[in-house]
Amino acid sequence: MQISKVQVFKNNYSTQSNSSRVNAHPHGIVNQGLMPTRHQNIFNSENKNIPYNFKYNSNITFGEFFDPNRTVPHIDYEEYMAMRESTRTRFRKRYKTFMKSANQDELVDKKFTYLPLQSDKSMEDFIKISKIYNKYKTQPIICLGRSPKWFLNTALWLKDGIDSYKFVAFSKYWFYQNNGEMRRLDSMAPTEKEEQAYEKYLKRIKADPETIVKNMKETGKKTVITDYVCTGKGMCSFLDLMSKFAEKKGILEDFAKSIQIVGIGSMDYMEELNPYEEYISEPRVPMPEKLFPYRKEIKQEFYNMDYQVFRDMLLNQNTNECRSTYYPHETWTIYKPDQFRTGLIKDMKKVKEMAKKIKTAKDSMSSFTPAMYDFRNLLNFHILDELNKRGLLKLSHVSKI
């Protein structure tokens, strides 16, 4: 087997071995994802660590390293476009048979025994929701948490789709419903130190209230904040924080007039949750206390999706966990979400031990299992391939997702 052209992305992360430094990639994973693998041991055409029977297309450029237990390389727009048709055919077969050979112990959700969007109808309905973001392509878009990420990634690849969006890591909530009213549960809310850490994170990625207000004043364009919405507890919690930060800067009213909300979800699912309700109203995000006086200034839109797509892309926790970083407020003082890429980790002791291994801002680490990496890369391939078959794929694009 020959590898005639494989470009290895350089990375600043390194490990000490035999008194010499060895470059390693943050997404290489061994030992349950606790330490990165050395790229010399993986991208070496004479090395037996390369997965048995895996054939590389000589024109593919890989953007991440992978453990010998993985069987699917990084596949993004660039890698897909470089593939020969025979390579695409092979990955199509791999997509359909993946669950039969995947290590079930490495998967998060064992109830779903298939990869998402298998039928033409489901794919069409998935693309339909992804296309809604084209309406907002001239506005800044904030993807709040992981839920909308697959739809926004697809919107990036679509012809006439969006050019960019900003991912803001945010998980969990501290609001709950009581007799139809949304109330703040202080015992579940972030501490002052956690809030300070999160405010620094927002400033660093330029998703803080000041940046949003400044953009509105300079361009007249409101920032779209999008998330999966059912009860609205998550978005309400995020806006609770943002309004607190804005008030501290004296720009609360300006902030309220600089945002709009785009929710996605499933009315069928809401009816399933409330089988005895005669009427289920379209979900809306309730405003936290500081933003309540400006609730009429904040436009809200909701887009209903097909129930099968909702099951595949939101209820299926495999799809959810391979999407991006889990970032509840308990972790805000521990790691940065673009440094520490995780699935669902509830053991905070383990999180702290892993985060200690990240020494500098340029280091990063991943806790995704080989099977979840393969799942994510095959889903990337499948979406790109289906867009291409339908003539919907951009001819030129540089992926930054």
Distance (Å, whole) CA 23 – CA 10 = 8
Whether residues 143 and 105 share a domain: the answer is no
Whether residues 242 and 95 share a domain: the answer is no
Whether residues 94 and 27 share a domain: the answer is yes
The two three-digit tokens of residue 191, written as one number: 């501490």
pLDDT tens digit at each of 401 positions of the chain:
433 333 333 233 233 333 333 333 333 333 233 233 333 333 333 333 434 344 444 333 333 444 566 788 889 999 999 999 999 999 999 999 999 988 888 888 888 889 999 999 999 999 999 999 999 999 999 999 989 999 999 999 999 999 999 999 999 999 988 777 889 999 999 999 999 999 999 999 999 999 999 999 999 999 999 999 999 999 999 999 999 999 999 999 999 999 999 999 999 999 998 888 888 899 999 999 999 999 999 999 999 999 999 999 999 988 987 777 888 999 999 888 887 776 666 677 777 777 777 766 566 777 788 888 899 999 999 999 999 999 999 988 766 55
Whether residues 283 and 397 share a domain: the answer is no
Residue 344 covered by a domain: no
Whether residues 87 and 142 share a domain: the answer is no
CB atoms within 10 A of CB 265: 22
Tell me, what's the pLDDT at 16?
32
Q: Which residues contact 258 (CB under 8 A, 6 or more apart)?
A: 212, 213, 215, 216, 222, 223
Whether residues 298 and 186 share a domain: the answer is yes
HEC readout, the chain: CCCCCCCCCCCCCEEEECCEEEEECCCCCEHHHCECCEHHHCCCCCCCCCCCCCCCCCCCCCCCCCCCCCCCCCCCHHHHHHCCHHHHHHHHHHHHHHHHHCCHHHCCCCCCCCCCCCCHHHHHHHHHHHHHHHHHCCCCEEEECCCCHHHHHHHHHECCCCCCCEEECCCCCCEEEECCEEEECHHHCCCHHHHHHHHHHHHHCCCCHHHHHHHHHHHCCCEEEEEECCCCHHHHHHHHHHHHHHHHCCCHHHHHCCEEEEEEECHHHHHHHCCCCCCCCCCCCCCCHHHHHHHHHCCEEEEECCHHHHHHHHHCHHHHHCCCCCCCHHHCCCCCCCCEECCCCCCHHHHHHHHCCCCCCCCCEECCCHHHHHHHHHHHHHHHHHHHHCCCECCCCCCCC
Out of 261, 291, 315, pick the residue that ends a domain. 315
Residue 394 covered by a domain: yes
Whether residues 367 and 272 share a domain: the answer is no
Whether residues 96 and 141 share a domain: the answer is no
Whether residues 155 and 304 share a domain: the answer is yes
Tell me, what's the pLDDT at 1?
40
Tell me, what's the pLDDT at 214?
98
Residue 399 covered by a domain: yes
Residue 347 covered by a domain: no
Residue 181 covered by a domain: yes
Count of domains for the chain:
2
Residue 343 covered by a domain: no
| Domain of 32, in residue numbers | 1-116+361-401
Q: Pick from 115, 2, 128, 136: which is nearest to 58 by CA? A: 2
Whether residues 75 and 112 share a domain: the answer is yes
How many residues are present in the chain? 401
Out of 254, 287, 315, pick the residue that ends a domain. 315
Whether residues 149 and 187 share a domain: the answer is yes
Tell me, what's the pLDDT at 362?
64
Q: Which residues contact 137 (CB under 8 A, 6 or more apart)?
A: 160, 161, 162, 163
